[in-house]
Amino acid sequence: MTEPERTPEEERAEHVYDLFQRGTALLESKDFNAAQIPLEQARELEPDKTSIREALGRAYWHSGRYAQARDEFAAVVERNPVNDFAHFCLGRSCEKTGRLREAKRHLALATSLRPDRADYRHYRARLEAA
């Protein structure tokens, strides 16, 4: 029995998934610069996928590319305004790029969404004290 032919959309989705998997594997192995390559390719193909944008933001962050990380986390927050982790990462990225007012706002939102997260509270308090 032969497998049914896949549609171009199915092939594209599988390709994007493979890129995402490669990128996240590299991210998990702390090869942050290498992770950016497949994740950027996946983002180009599926710019509305928040999982891709969040992973790419993490790769940028860990590579010290804070402005690019900020852009990726902002895209995630725009599409999913209740994503506490994206608000936290956006706040930290804003802080690293000198946008302190925005940083405070996003860290406050992250803390409000997940008051149980001690790390969110820590960074928010540290920034408020500065």
Check whether residue 60 and residue 113 sit in a common domain: no
CB 107 within 8 A of CB 115: no
Check whether residue 76 and residue 128 sit in a common domain: yes
Check whether residue 54 and residue 72 sit in a common domain: no
Whether 1 is covered by a domain: the verdict is no
**Who's near 108: CB < 8 A, 6+ residues apart?**
124
For the entire predicted model, the pTM comes to: 0.92
Check whether residue 86 and residue 54 sit in a common domain: no
For residue 18, what are the domain limits?
7-64
Structure tokens at 30: 């702390």
Q: For 8-58, how does the pLDDT look when each residue is reduced to its tens digit (9 = 90+)?
A: 899 999 999 999 999 999 999 999 999 999 999 999 999 999 999 999 999
Q: For 79-117, how does the pLDDT look when each residue is reduced to its tens digit (9 = 90+)?
A: 999 999 999 999 999 999 999 999 999 999 999 999 999
Check whether residue 54 and residue 93 sit in a common domain: no
